[in-house]
Chains A and B, each alone.
Chain A
Amino acid sequence: MRQSYEATPDVNLLAQFPQESSFDVAVIGAGPNGLITAAYLAKAGLKTVVIERRQEIGGGLATEETLFPGFYTNPHAIYHLMVDYMPLFQDFDLGVHGLTFIKPNIQTAAVFKDGSSLVLCQQIEDSKDSIALFSDKDARRFGHLMRQWQKIVDDVLAPGTYVPPMSPIDMIEALNRGESGQEALRLTEMSPMEIIEENFENDKLRMALLYMSTMWGLNPRDSGLGFLVPLLVTRNLNKAQCYGGSHKLAGSLSRAIHQAGGIILDNAEVVKIDVENNQAKRVILDDGRVINASAIISSLPPPQTFGKLIDRDLVPSELVQTAENWEWDQWSFFTVSLALKEAPRYISEDPWVNDALMTILGFETYNELATHFDAVLSGKISDSDEVGGHATTETRYDPTLPRIPGHEVAFLQSHVPLSTKINYEEVGANLRDRLISKWSEYAPNITKDSIVASSHESPLDIETRIKTMVGGSIKHGDYNPLQMGVFRPHDSVIAGRSPIDGLYLCGASSYPGGLIIGGPGYIAANTVAEDFEIDKWWKTPKYIEKYKEAYLEA
């Protein structure tokens, strides 16, 4: 925390937010999960405050003018994967705040130097048409597999995102009650590479699917979390972009909170959670303000919630260990954003590539991609031949981002090790140049003349903007079997309820995890509502009820 040189004068000129205040609920962190939890609880009538370190709420739901002056980008989340499932959208009419998602048909493309390309679409027959250019067998297999995987997602994986986790033994017992569950269990024991190789023969399709299933941090060679592959691949064909920028979702949620009487306090960093007799009592802010609350809900990861904010001797020993041994993400992103005079046009024979929400480039073979991930996992940045990533022309589906008419905004994002392993202040500029040069190999109209402005963000920048993403950990912690399911963040935290009374967790480091899925926030809201014995004004979505009936209540 930065100290000002001297305490500012003690002046009572204007009424300010009180030095000490009391709320039913204090949520630490106004990222997507913090906002979701607060929105449910405020609407339930609890006196709610959300405390945010940054000036802008939203966490990863950021839309910022990083290409100053005149061009907004979404520097963190842009692909919203779970819009079709998040209970939030059933429970709140966020459309009244102008919230709209664009979910284009052309979702994920992969381009290759020979002009060939894969165009994978929401409409599966379009995907098959593209795959057929490489392999008829794979095209047919893709069709069948996507139907099966979609069913697994609908039956168990999506609903499981919004109900509290169970112990592995209970989970196995539950999932064995149905076909979709059984298949999810079978896949769990496989690695992403094994699952892809089991199904497809074509090298380029394998590359694309491996990218789609692991891009957010699954280790391609590790088994134990294979059930996430169907979820990540199908959702990667159903991404939505928030019209007006990802921040609009945060803004709409914040308006729902204000409408319900909740308060959001920004530019306010929590420096301490006071615990007395194993009961969380209050939070202390960096400017000395005190907020008392019956429930304190932290969206921060364990090393911050338990390792920094609470006196160590008041934290249960198992959570001290979790805080100390927490594993951050295995990789992060390095992003180059460009303001351009024209949208990137790829060297593809299929013009649909230019309309894809996401375009994978730089990897000609399955092996090249695997080598890239291996290098990243070993803490290195790939040699220049293997550098690549995914690109999105943000303005393709959101014309509101550039302030200057007729211009486009696009980014290329590449996997890189966390900032703890690489000195990005040293290598950043070089990596940016390499990425732009790689990008222009695939989109030759990206030239010095067409670039109006550029910026780049390393994992270090990610942490600077959002302190919970330590080292650039966008998911607040690695996805590995020991930090997933009931173990996220620790099995003494049950449905967001920590062993310290009145202290709850709702962030990406809690079950089920990160990305803009809203699971931790929804689960925490339900738990707090139950502990406060308030009537839940919201109804469990039908597809979740169905899952509970079929798998949990037998």
Chain B
Amino acid sequence: MREEHFDIVVVGGGHNGTTIAAYLAKCGLSVCILEERPECGGGQENTEPRPGFRIDPHATYLYGGAAPGFEQLDLAKYGFRMVYYQSMAGLVTTDGVAANLGGRWNREVAQKSVSYYTGQDAVGAEEVFLGSMGDDGLRDLLRSIFWTPPLPDSVEIEPKDAPMWQEFRKQLPGLWSERLVEMSFLDFLDEFVPWEPLRTFQAFAAWYCGAHPGWDGMLLPSLGGTLLVGYSSGSPRGGMHSYAHAIIRSAIANGARVITNASVGEILVKDGRAVGVKLDDKASYPEKTIWADKAVISAVDVKQTFLKLIGQTHLDASFVQKVRDVSLKGGSLYVLSVLCRELPKYHGREDAFPEEVYPSCVAAPVDSIDFFHTQTKDAYSKKKAPVLTKEHLTMMICQHDVYDRTRCPEGYHVLSPIYLEVPPPQYDVEGPEGINRHKDEITKAALDLLESLAPNMNSNNIVEVFLNTPYDSEFRNAGMSGGNWYGARQSEDQWFGSRPIKELGRYKTPIENLYLCNHTSHPGGLCLMAVPYNLMHVLIEDKIASPGNWWYPSPYYVADTKKGSQN
């Protein structure tokens, strides 16, 4: 047996855990990542359930293109490659509208396609922004929303002076008005996007990219999700797990130790300080106690961190209740993957989706904003599996293999993921397994709907279907509470310095030397390398990390000068 001491122990080898490990290893610290599964990456996952066919059970696009991490962690050196897409998205309605929305690298197709229906030039809310900002402007705006650590408690500002709005004013002075701060993205769409299918598409796109568009005061984060995906308009070659590989390899090359099949059972706390972790008995490591001399970083969600990994004797009851009440609504996905021989040929305009500019993601059907409200109500208000009519089953259907030939063998296509948002299992009126009891009927309804919109999606064309419900996702991916990819609703009261609760807003915890680095902290999921980047500011502030010249902080970073503010 070895006595294992590291400066830093990272619990969980998902996107955020591996990234913070890479950052800290690059600072010269000894770092150990403990991952429960056989493979790191968390939601950055491509699985090959049938030989040759790779599906995306969770994350699917590169949202993080504006991340400082690419440069700071030198991911190019470790093999990072992109595939940029000619068309990112398209929309389809039940009555035969099919519009190709193109993307950043091909605007012409979208202009042509949308103006066919509307006679107008603008292609929607994204266009308002993408059209009026250069690469650097958009990058800086995105960084102010996502790659900016929450401000210390001692700094009091008006919502309109939050970093993201400061940057907005700088980049888009003509668009700025103070009322934007209070708005939801839906309010904004009402004003800026007149064409109903496009408005509906934008609402769904925002929902699947981050904050629900109906949440008040969240215009910019909600719109920001779609800007993030639009920023790079593509995916890593091979899929999101390739991006994980580059991060993990950067971490290891900088000296981090990665141990898989090593499930952490407990974060050890002594005199109010986190001192290490204890592995489960079945972990594949001879030494079951691993000491952290400088910090334990929990890269699992806030609920598991405080309700499972830390003994309740170390925590205050009112704090524990706040953690229990962190809302899981918002990102619980029912994910279908359909292996087929032909791409869907949607009814309506035959020439809308030619193969060379086939949309990498089709939202269908998006007839009217009512479709959006109906689905939201099922997931959040009724808290049950969707009603199986076509107005309740709007799907986001992705097909990366159109542009990335590594995803499946020749002669086949992989429609993966096909996302459908459903209630978090924890809130399901039928109990956590509720959604799984309905999966045959939901899957059938989804495939029937697909066939009604694209008649060639019949049983001759479909080779095999794979499915993971949010309940499955919780088992498959231990860090994904609620099968929810952002783990804590991205509404205003769980955003920025209040994410997931005020006491934890700056990645610090009531336990000294225990830091949070998971999508339940600001700014949430999407594999942005943003939580670790933001956390780095705090670790530098706390004199745990001292990076070299490669590091640059957020321009909106404000140091916490109040001594002893941590606890």
**A residues engaging B (CB < 8 A)?**
1-6, 8-9, 11, 13-18, 55-56, 63-70, 72, 75, 95-100, 243-245, 247-248, 251, 255, 258-259, 261, 263-268, 286-287, 399-400, 403-404, 455, 457, 461-462, 464-465
Q: Is the CB of B76 within 8 A of A17?
A: yes
Q: Is the CB of B81 within 8 A of A287?
A: yes
Residues in A neighbouring B473, C-beta threshold 8 A = 69
**How far apart sit A17 and B237, CA to CA, in the bound complex (Å)?**
11
Nearest CB of A to B128, in Å: 21
Q: Is the CB of A264 within 8 A of B79?
A: yes
Residues in B neighbouring A5, C-beta threshold 8 A = 355-356, 358, 402-403
Q: Which residues of B284-299 are within 8 A (CB) of A?
A: 284-286
Q: Is the CB of B105 within 8 A of A9?
A: yes
Q: Is the CB of A16 within 8 A of B81?
A: yes
Nearest CB of A to B59, in Å: 14
Q: Is the CB of A69 within 8 A of B476?
A: yes
| Closest chain A residue, CB of each to CB of B85 | A8
| Closest chain A residue, CB of each to CB of B251 | A258
Residues in B neighbouring A98, C-beta threshold 8 A = 259-262, 283-285
**How far apart sit A96 and B71, CA to CA, in the bound complex (Å)?**
29
Contact with A along B48-90 (1 / 0, CB 8 A): 1111101101000000010000110001111111111110000
**How far apart sit A64 and B356, CA to CA, in the bound complex (Å)?**
32
Q: Is the CB of A248 within 8 A of B52?
A: no
Please judge, given known A-B contacts A16-B80, A69-B472, A97-B257, whether A267 and B57 are in contact too, CB under 8 Å: no
Q: Is the CB of A258 within 8 A of B257?
A: no
Q: Is the CB of A464 within 8 A of B260?
A: no
Nearest CB of B to A290, in Å: 14
Residues in B neighbouring A75, C-beta threshold 8 A = 51
Nearest CB of A to B502, in Å: 34
Q: Is the CB of A457 within 8 A of B51?
A: yes
| Interface residue? B322 (CB, 8 A) | no
| Closest chain A residue, CB of each to CB of B279 | A98
Q: List 25 A-B contacts (CB under 8 A).
A: A1-B405, A2-B405, A2-B408, A2-B410, A4-B83, A5-B403, A6-B356, A8-B84, A13-B135, A55-B48, A64-B47, A68-B468, A70-B472, A70-B476, A97-B257, A97-B258, A99-B284, A247-B39, A248-B38, A248-B261, A259-B255, A266-B79, A266-B242, A404-B475, A464-B51
Q: Is the CB of A263 within 8 A of B79?
A: yes
Residues in A neighbouring B85, C-beta threshold 8 A = 8
Q: Is the CB of B238 within 8 A of A55?
A: yes
**How far apart sit A176 and B428, CA to CA, in the bound complex (Å)?**
75
Q: Which residues of B401-435 are within 8 A (CB) of A?
A: 402-406, 408-410
**How far apart sit A4 and B85, CA to CA, in the bound complex (Å)?**
11
Residues in A neighbouring B55, C-beta threshold 8 A = 68
**Residue in B38, B252, B404, B408 whose beta carbon sits within 8 Å of that of A258 in the complex:** B252
Q: Is the CB of A95 within 8 A of B286?
A: yes
Nearest CB of B to A432, in Å: 14
Q: Is the CB of A400 within 8 A of B38?
A: yes
| Interface residue? B282 (CB, 8 A) | yes
Q: Is the CB of A462 within 8 A of B468?
A: no
**Among A16, A18, A69, A70, residue most surrounded by chain B Cβ atoms (within 10 Å):** A69
Residues in B neighbouring A267, C-beta threshold 8 A = 81, 237-238, 242, 406
**B residues engaging A (CB < 8 A)?**
37-39, 46-52, 54-55, 57, 65, 70-71, 75-86, 105-106, 135, 231-232, 234, 237-239, 241-242, 245, 249, 252-253, 255, 257-262, 282-286, 355-358, 402-406, 408-410, 466-468, 472-473, 475-476
Q: Is the CB of B80 within 8 A of A400?
A: no
| Closest chain B residue, CB of each to CB of A267 | B238
Residues in B neighbouring A16, C-beta threshold 8 A = 76, 80-82
Q: Is the CB of A14 within 8 A of B80?
A: yes
Q: Is the CB of B284 within 8 A of A8?
A: no
Q: Is the CB of B82 within 8 A of A14?
A: yes
| Closest chain B residue, CB of each to CB of A261 | B253
Q: Is the CB of B70 within 8 A of A15?
A: yes
List 9 A-B pairs, minimum CB-CB distance, nearest first. Answer: A267-B238, A244-B261, A68-B49, A465-B51, A9-B105, A15-B76, A2-B405, A464-B52, A258-B252
Q: Is the CB of B286 within 8 A of A55?
A: no
**How far apart sit A267 and B237, CA to CA, in the bound complex (Å)?**
7
**How far apart sit A42 and B290, CA to CA, in the bound complex (Å)?**
29
Please judge, given known A-B contacts A16-B76, A95-B286, A98-B285, whether A264 and B249 are in contact too, CB under 8 Å: yes
Task: List 18 additional A-B contacts (Cβ < 8 Å) besides A251-B38, A403-B475.
Answer: A2-B408, A2-B409, A2-B410, A6-B86, A6-B357, A8-B403, A11-B82, A11-B84, A11-B234, A69-B466, A69-B476, A70-B475, A244-B261, A248-B284, A287-B81, A400-B38, A404-B475, A457-B51
**Among A67, A245, A400, residue most surrounded by chain B Cβ atoms (within 10 Å):** A400
Nearest CB of B to A113, in Å: 34
| Closest chain B residue, CB of each to CB of A95 | B286
**Majority-rule SS of A interface residues:** loop
**How far apart sit A13 and B234, CA to CA, in the bound complex (Å)?**
11
Q: Is the CB of B405 within 8 A of A3?
A: yes
Residues in B neighbouring A259, C-beta threshold 8 A = 252-253, 255
**How far apart sit A261 and B250, CA to CA, in the bound complex (Å)?**
10
Please judge, given known A-B contacts A3-B405, A4-B404, A248-B38, whether A55 and B259 are in contact too, CB under 8 Å: no
Nearest CB of B to A266, in Å: 6
**How far apart sit A234 and B282, CA to CA, in the bound complex (Å)?**
29
Residues in A neighbouring B357, C-beta threshold 8 A = 6
Nearest CB of A to B252, in Å: 4
**How far apart sit A95 and B4, CA to CA, in the bound complex (Å)?**
13
Q: Is the CB of B86 within 8 A of A244?
A: no
Q: Is the CB of B84 within 8 A of A455?
A: no
Residues in A neighbouring B48, C-beta threshold 8 A = 55-56, 64-66, 465
Please judge, given known A-B contacts A68-B466, A251-B260, whether A8 and B83 are in contact too, CB under 8 Å: yes
Residues in A neighbouring B403, C-beta threshold 8 A = 4-5, 8
**How far apart sit A247 and B261, CA to CA, in the bound complex (Å)?**
11
Residues in B neighbouring A464, C-beta threshold 8 A = 51-52, 409
Q: Is the CB of A258 within 8 A of B284?
A: no
| Closest chain B residue, CB of each to CB of A18 | B76
**How far apart sit A255 and B25, CA to CA, in the bound complex (Å)?**
14
Residues in B neighbouring A63, C-beta threshold 8 A = 38
**How far apart sit A55 and B54, CA to CA, in the bound complex (Å)?**
9
**How far apart sit A14 and B404, CA to CA, in the bound complex (Å)?**
17
Q: Is the CB of B252 within 8 A of A266?
A: no
| Closest chain B residue, CB of each to CB of A49 | B79
Residues in B neighbouring A8, C-beta threshold 8 A = 83-86, 234, 403
**Among A72, A95, A97, A461, residue most surrounded by chain B Cβ atoms (within 10 Å):** A97
Residues in A neighbouring B79, C-beta threshold 8 A = 17, 263-266, 268
Q: Is the CB of A400 within 8 A of B282?
A: yes
Residues in A neighbouring B82, C-beta threshold 8 A = 11, 13-14, 16
Q: Is the CB of B284 within 8 A of A400?
A: yes
**How far apart sit A97 and B4, CA to CA, in the bound complex (Å)?**
13
Residues in A neighbouring B49, C-beta threshold 8 A = 64-68, 455
Please judge, given known A-B contacts A9-B105, A15-B75, A264-B79, whether A55 and B51 are in contact too, CB under 8 Å: no
Q: Is the CB of B38 within 8 A of A72?
A: yes
Q: Is the CB of A55 within 8 A of B242?
A: yes
Q: Is the CB of B405 within 8 A of A9?
A: no
Q: Is the CB of A68 within 8 A of B475?
A: no
Nearest CB of B to A89, in Å: 15
**Residue in B47, B52, B257 whose beta carbon sits within 8 Å of that of A65 in the complex:** B47
Residues in B neighbouring A6, C-beta threshold 8 A = 86, 356-357
Residues in A neighbouring B71, C-beta threshold 8 A = 15
| Closest chain A residue, CB of each to CB of B106 | A9
**How far apart sit A75 and B75, CA to CA, in the bound complex (Å)?**
31
**How far apart sit A63 and B404, CA to CA, in the bound complex (Å)?**
24
Residues in B neighbouring A247, C-beta threshold 8 A = 38-39
**Residue in A55, A258, A399 whose beta carbon sits within 8 Å of that of B282 in the complex:** A399
**How far apart sit A217 and B36, CA to CA, in the bound complex (Å)?**
36
| Closest chain A residue, CB of each to CB of B411 | A2
Q: Is the CB of A17 within 8 A of B261?
A: no
Q: Is the CB of B232 within 8 A of A14?
A: yes
| Closest chain A residue, CB of each to CB of B62 | A14
Residues in A neighbouring B46, C-beta threshold 8 A = 55
